[in-house]
């Protein structure tokens, strides 16, 4: 093949794009990936999931050392925060992982173009780099450009004191008072980080609950636990404005008093990244909120142009994008594969973690579906006792007639790891009895899943 000519050009090197590129290359295509940032890995690796999890982990260690180790007979005098080192470690984690993607591209012989990709026509992509413009020809184009933080009218972001998660992952000083706009994933995760490191944190949420979309019972219990950790929530507060005024920030909202603070984190959702992609010159109509419409094969209505990840509808989650990347490549080359959206879990990395897969009780009520519910509190689990983390519970929802598992919702220690077993169960169409009859290692947190499954049939052993 000639230079700059490929079978597939992927625009965007995030979890959706890079995984699709690797799978397509493994299946024999000549693949290129256009990414405008020097580091591959997208929002998730560079400025999202990975740095936030590094900060969540470090801030939790700090909090435990200060507040909890004493209970276990570990006395440490004068636990001090060295924020610069904490931030440096976070950067090191990011660098190691993004370089790992470079190595994977080399291993799979994927051509990397550094620059902004723009579709000129089906089969034609231009890479706009700092010093040159390169034309690339290809049979197929995959748009995997992800999303960017959404904002609100009236919020004057200055990219420093009033900013997005990108800024909130890199504050060089612990804010005295951080106001978070939005009680969603980012709000509670980054709110937790800075609370643990010593900030007063106020979360303003428009709705009458936090973590909209997750099971309401779980979200309500999570709110209580986060409040115990010192996070302050103001629900029903619709933020209408935020600006820097002299040496402080002012946040105004309907339903709550104006607040003065020193930092504001805007976390009101994300919007698909479709700007300057050349889509406007194609016969392609975007959804109202800017998403690219695709069919089950991730194909748009323009021949040879596909899209996956945050630019299409569905949860904005890295693993959903990865799943779509693999399914796209498999579909293209073999004609098979699909994504089972019912088995895509979501995790909020608070302490304790919150994890969910399948349908919530609200969704089942709305669908008029009859279900049975089994609950196991973590306090009944031996391993949770030994960990000293007994807050929360596991809830399994199973079809009343078939016993098929419809949803699993967990608030508690290592919920993010436990949920994968539930996702596998839902993937394989397991019943709650299947889980209840599976021998789980003792003592592990996973036994709580089994106990919740036993609870569905009203025959618990440890409760």
Q: Which is nearer to ligand NAD, 134 or 343 (CB)?
A: 343
- 152 lies in the binding site for ligand NAD (CB under 6 A): yes
Distance CA 145, CA 286 (A): 14
Find all residues with CB under 8 Å of 351, minimum gap 6, and list them: 56, 60, 63, 192, 229
Question: Which of 9, 142, 144, 268 lies at the binding interface for ligand NAD (CB under 6 A)?
Answer: 268
Of 152 and 284, the one with the shorter C-beta distance to ligand NAD is: 152
The separation between CA 211 and the C-alpha centre of its own chain, rounded to angstroms, equals 12
Between CA 257 and CA 445 the distance in angstroms is 43
Choosing from 62, 194, 206, 393, the residue that interacts with ligand NAD (CB under 6 A) is: 206
The phi and psi torsions of 344 (rounded to 5 degrees) equal -95, 115
Beta carbons of 297 and 331 less than 8 angstroms apart: yes
Of 93 and 375, the one with the shorter C-beta distance to ligand NAD is 93
Q: Is residue 317 within the footprint of ligand NAD (CB under 6 A)?
A: yes
248 catalytic per annotation: no
Among 233, 349, 371, 393, the residue binding ligand NAD under the rule CB under 6 A is 349
Residue 272 touches ligand NAD, criterion: CB under 6 A:
no
The answer to whether residue 154 forms part of the interface with ligand NAD (CB under 6 A) is no
Q: Is 61 left (phi over 0), alpha (psi -120 to 50) or beta?
A: alpha
- Report in angstroms the alpha-carbon separations of 5 from 135, 140, 177, 423: 9, 11, 53, 40
Tokens representing 186?
């980012």
Choose the binding region for ligand NAD from 93-101, 175-183, 352-360, 420-428 (rule: CB under 6 A).
175-183
Size of residue set near ligand NAD by CB under 6 A: 28
**How large is the C-alpha radius of gyration of the chain?**
23
Residue whose CB is less far from ligand NAD, 184 or 377: 184
Of positions 185, 233, 298, 378, contacts ligand NAD by CB under 6 A? 185
* 239 binds ligand NAD per the rule CB under 6 A: yes
* Span near ligand NAD by CB under 6 A; candidates 34-42, 287-295, 342-350, 447-455: 342-350
Catalytic residue among 140, 177, 409, 442: 442
Cβ 169 to ligand NAD shortest distance, Å: 11
Computed from CA positions of residues 6, 12, 16, 18, in that sequence, does the dihedral angle turn out positive or negative? positive
Interface residue with ligand NAD among 187, 272, 358, 412 (CB under 6 A) is: 187
Per-residue 3-state assignment (H helix, E strand, C coil) for 327-360: HHHHHHHHCCCCCCHHHCCEEECCCCEEEEEECC
**Segment contacting ligand NAD (CB under 6 A): 54-62, 83-91, 235-243, 398-406?**
235-243
Could you list the beta-strand ranges (E) of 1-77.
5-11, 31-35
CA angle 32, 7, 304 (to 5 degrees): 105
Q: Which of 348, 380, 397, 426 binds ligand NAD (CB under 6 A)?
A: 348
Residue 267 binds ligand NAD, judged by CB under 6 A: yes
Helix (H) or strand (E) holding 437: none
Q: Are 184 and 270 in contact (CB under 8 A)?
A: no
Q: To the nearest whole angstrom, how small is the minimum distance from the Cβ of residue 416 to ligand NAD?
A: 8
Which member of 122, 123, 269, 304 binds ligand NAD (CB under 6 A)?
Answer: 269
Bridge partners (DSSP) listed for residue 451: none
Residue 287: CB minimum distance to ligand NAD, A: 16
Contact residues toward ligand NAD (CB under 6 A) are 152, 181-187, 189, 204-207, 212, 237-239, 267-270, 315-317, 346-349
Catalytic residues: 442
């Amino acid at each position: 093949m000639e230079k700059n000519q490929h079978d597939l050009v992927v625009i965007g090197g995030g979890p959706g794009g890079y995984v699709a590129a690797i799978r397509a290359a493994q299946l024999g295509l000549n693949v290129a990936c256009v990414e405008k940032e020097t580091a591959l890995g997208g929002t998730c690796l560079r400025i999202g999931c990975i740095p936030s999890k590094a900060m969540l982990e470090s801030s939790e260690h700090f909090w435990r050392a200060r507040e909890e180790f004493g209970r276990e007979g570990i006395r440490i005098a004068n636990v001090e925060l060295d924020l610069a080192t904490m931030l440096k470690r976070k950067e090191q984690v990011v660098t190691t992982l993004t370089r790992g993607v470079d190595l994977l591209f080399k291993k799979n012989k994927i051509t990397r173009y550094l620059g902004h990709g723009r579709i000129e026509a089906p089969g034609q992509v231009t890479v706009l780099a700092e010093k040159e413009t390169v034309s690339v020809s290809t049979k197929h184009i995959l748009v995997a450009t992800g999303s960017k933080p959404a904002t609100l009218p009236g919020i004057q972001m200055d990219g420093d004191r009033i900013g997005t998660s990108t800024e909130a992952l890199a504050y060089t000083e612990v804010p005295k008072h951080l106001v978070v706009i939005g009680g969603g994933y980012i709000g509670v995760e980054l709110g937790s980080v800075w609370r643990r490191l010593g900030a007063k944190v106020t979360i303003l949420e428009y709705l009458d609950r936090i973590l909209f979309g997750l099971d309401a019972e779980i979200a309500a219990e999570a709110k209580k636990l986060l409040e115990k950790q010192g996070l302050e929530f103001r629900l029903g507060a619709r933020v209408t404005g935020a600006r820097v005024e002299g040496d402080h920030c002012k946040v105004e909202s309907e339903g709550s008093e104006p607040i003065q603070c020193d930092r504001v984190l805007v976390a009101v959702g994300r919007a698909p990244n479709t700007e300057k992609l050349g889509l406007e010159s194609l016969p392609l109509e975007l959804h109202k909120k800017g998403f690219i419409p695709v069919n089950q094969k991730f194909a748009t209505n323009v021949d040879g142009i596909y899209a996956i990840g945050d630019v299409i509808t569905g949860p904005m989650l890295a693993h959903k994008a990865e799943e779509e990347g693999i399914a796209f490549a498999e579909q293209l080359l073999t004609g098979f594969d699909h994504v089972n959206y019912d088995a895509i879990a979501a995790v909020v990395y608070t302490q304790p973690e919150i994890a969910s897969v399948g349908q919530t009780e609200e969704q089942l009520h709305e669908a008029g579906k009859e279900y049975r519910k089994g609950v196991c509190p973590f306090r009944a689990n031996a391993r949770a006792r030994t960990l000293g983390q007994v807050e929360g519970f596991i809830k399994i929802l199973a079809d009343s007639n078939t016993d098929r598992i419809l949803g699993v919702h967990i608030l508690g220690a290592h919920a993010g790891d436990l949920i994968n077993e539930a996702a596998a169960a839902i993937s394989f169409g397991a019943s709650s009895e299947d889980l209840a009859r599976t021998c789980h290692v003792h003592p592990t947190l996973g036994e709580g899943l089994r106990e919740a499954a036993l609870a569905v049939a009203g025959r618990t052993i440890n409760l």
